Chains A and B, each alone.
Chain A
Amino acid sequence: MSYRFRALIVFVISLLLTGSAIGQGSVVIDFYFPSATANDAEGIFQGYADAFQEENPGISINPVFTGSYTDTRNTILTELQGGGAGPDVAVMLSIDLYSFAEEGYIVPAQTFIDGMEDGEAFVADFFPALMSNGMDADGNVWSIPFQRSTPILYYNADLLAEAGYDSPPTNNAELVEIAQALTTEDRDGLLVPVAGGFPIWMYQSFAIAYGQNIVSEDPTQVFFNTPEAVAAVEFVRSLGTDLGVGPAGGAAWGDTPTAFLAGQAAMIYHTTGNLTRILRDADFEVGVWYLPSGPAGEDGTGYGAPTGGGNLYIFDDGSKSDAEMDAIWKWVTFLSSPEIQADWGATTGYIASNASAWETEPLASLAMEYPHYLVARDQLQHVGKEFSSYATITIQGIINGTLQSILTGEAEDAQAAMDAAQAQIDGILAEYR
């Protein structure tokens, strides 16, 4: 063995023995976050953490990147089930509430809100629609909205104008008419991203527009085989078959904005989270509007979309000291403050979740320059709760699988497939009723 080789081994071993060193006597908050944006989320959070630590000398924040939303959920559960400490605060999907509450891993934010001087004002500043997934059936707040989104209609205003349409469709009949007028051999009139692993979110828009959301306040109730739910999926399926304005089975999530930007789609349903990127990259005039209203009502009453995105959750198994809990709540209120929300929303394109953030810079001037952002915000008055119940992951899996088999034509009889799914869902939820 040569000398150099030995030296290398010694070097490697000595490096191996140097672990990571964090914290110097103060309260350390482990903050787990997923990355769901194209931005340098890590850099932004480090900036927030630095600003926070400046204000609060005794507290240090340790931001940890934990992958996608699914990875974040799995990482945290693996850690807690494996006897680890877990995070103090984490950004997870707003629909993860019941999974974590059921396991006793998280504590309600309500306790902290009750202890605030201006607790009611704090809650009232958030858009009510964004609070719906963070609250239980009794109205207790568990998690605080942080990076939220909702689907909206994007349209290529130039193409619409060419075909003689000065304004976007406001109901499904107009939607189909315009989409058909704009469909050519090289272009889809309308892309609805329901292909892939997660059709439930876009589908919910249609279910709500048809007059019946598939969830309610009560986490033991799911309405998946109602006439409205069936009609909604049949409408989505027909877009790719009878109406012929998009691909059969729906479009893929990631391809949809790209096709839109390339002029290969005249209109798309997509998340507000893409607004910043689409405005930046489009070489035509981009229009956005509420998702068209369904037959549930004349203009306005039939609008509908679910909320989406992530909330701030507080983890405690009862062992944390008051000082730690105080520090945790300070960090949560810091991240949900109008200043941070305005910055985070303007940087990433998420909908800033409190009303006052929209009067705060840099968001206020951005919204002035691009009224598109205000459309996304104002649609919030029409949106419904995102799907979440007890056994969320399992039931979501059943619904996604059923939607996929209906949309791809494997299950021709939508009603029968949805009845079967509803029976399985009720079987599971019976354990919670």
Chain B
Amino acid sequence: MNKTTGILPRLATALKIALAVAFLIPLVFTILVSFRPEAEPVTKGSIFFGSEITLVNYQRALVIAPWSLHYLNSFLFVAGVLLVQLVTVTCAAYAFARLRFFGRDLLLMIILLQLMIPSGVLLVQNFRTINMLGLFDTRIALMIPYWGSAFGVLLLRQTFREIPIELDEAARIDGANLLQVIRHVYVSNAIPAYLAFALVSVSSHWNEFLWPFIITRSEEIRPLTVGLNKLIKTTDQGAFYGQLMAGTLIVITPLVILFVLFQRHFVESFARSGIR
């Protein structure tokens, strides 16, 4: 942008700092609380570090749930969801972007309904479906409702529509079949959109709680959020904030690292994807 001097840029900087501080306070507070003796009021001891710095919250949090198992399960869950989504979403997005067929708009509308129906209210019915399929308490049951993604279809359809049709035609003249066209023309020209979609998909499923909780019983397949909930559910004695904050940090660390490493790529991915 142009070089400006005067009040506006300084105001912008002040605003930026103020907002960043306001947004960061809860995180700083979370970290501090996780090292502070359990549920000590902020008025006790140093406002930042309490009466002492302690690791006891982490020790307690680590005992309460098998975190490495939960990590593996969460990883498998988000990876399993994403991999299948990439296939289903690509196929559907291509059809909606580039093929003309009877009922196309209607089918797209039906798929988009997914965005508008809160899935939480359909728990009992979806449980019944899973049970009928004989999938209760399996990894597949965890993932299957997320395998179709209206958001992904919407995002990639948009991206595919902006890929020049000439590339498609040229590939076909060269003798490429449909799958080759999709793979070499569309997929390879939409990598940023896929990255953007992956970010959204991974971060939302990483934090999914209700469905995984309802549909699984075996510790062997339950994800991190179930472990986190073991720290939250201390109703008789009130909340144990220290170990809860420790647990929250344990859960989000991988996502934070991912974001910090790829932050710039993500923004660019979104910029180059169809959504803008």
Chain A residues with a Cβ under 8 A of chain B: 9, 12, 15-16, 19-20, 22, 30, 34-38, 40-43, 64-65, 67-69, 71, 74-75, 78-79, 81-84, 149, 253-259, 261-262, 264, 271, 273-274, 277, 281, 308-309, 349
Contacts and interface: CB of A to CB of B under 8 A. Distances in A.
A38 B41 contact: no
B218 A20 contact: yes
A405 B181 CA distance: 64
A16 B229 contact: no
Contact of A271 (B80, B130, B220, B237): B237
B132 interface: yes
Chief secondary structure at chain B's binding surface: helix
Contacts of B217: 30, 64
B237 A37 contact: yes
B48 interface: no
Contact of A82 (B40, B64, B127): B127
B237 A35 contact: no
16 contacts: A12-B83, A15-B76, A19-B221, A20-B137, A20-B221, A36-B235, A38-B237, A42-B64, A42-B65, A42-B230, A68-B232, A71-B233, A75-B214, A257-B237, A257-B238, A281-B38
B41 A264 contact: yes
Given A35-B233, A78-B123, A79-B127, A40 B238 contact: no
**8 A-B pairs with the lowest CB-CB distances in the bound complex, closest first:** A254-B238, A82-B127, A20-B218, A273-B236, A82-B128, A254-B239, A36-B236, A68-B233
Nearest to A273: B236
B79 interface: yes
A30 B226 CA distance: 18
A65 B235 contact: no
Contacts of B63: 40, 43
B233 A67 contact: yes
Nearest to B142: A16
Contacts of B233: 34-36, 67-68, 71
Interface string B50-93: 00000000001001110000000000100110010000000000
Contacts of A30: 217
Contacts of A71: 213, 229, 233
B161 interface: no
A275 B221 CA distance: 35
A68 B128 CA distance: 23
B272 interface: no
Interface of B: 38-41, 43-44, 60, 63-65, 76, 79-80, 83, 123-125, 127-128, 130-132, 136-140, 213-214, 217-221, 226, 229-230, 232-240, 243
Contact of A67 (B39, B140, B229): B229
Nearest to B60: A38
Contacts of B239: 254
Contacts of A34: 233
Contact of B236 (A37, A65, A258, A262): A37
A78 to B, nearest CB: 5
A12 B41 contact: no
A49 to B, nearest CB: 13
B236 A274 contact: yes
A262 B60 CA distance: 22
Interface core residue of A42, A71, A82 (most chain B CB under 10 Å): A82
Nearest to A21: B220
Contact of A12 (B80, B127, B219, B221): B80
A92 to B, nearest CB: 13
A65 B230 contact: yes
A83 B131 contact: yes
B152 to A, nearest CB: 18
Given A15-B76, A37-B234, A81-B128, 10 more contacts: A20-B220, A30-B217, A35-B233, A38-B60, A67-B213, A78-B124, A82-B128, A84-B136, A253-B238, A256-B238
A230 B32 CA distance: 45
Contact of A38 (B44, B80, B124, B240): B240
A255 B238 contact: yes
Contact of B44 (A41, A43, A69, A262): A262
A19 B136 CA distance: 11
B238 A83 contact: no
A66 to B, nearest CB: 8
Interface core residue of A19, A30, A261 (most chain B CB under 10 Å): A19
A149 B238 CA distance: 14
A277 B139 contact: no
A78 B238 contact: no
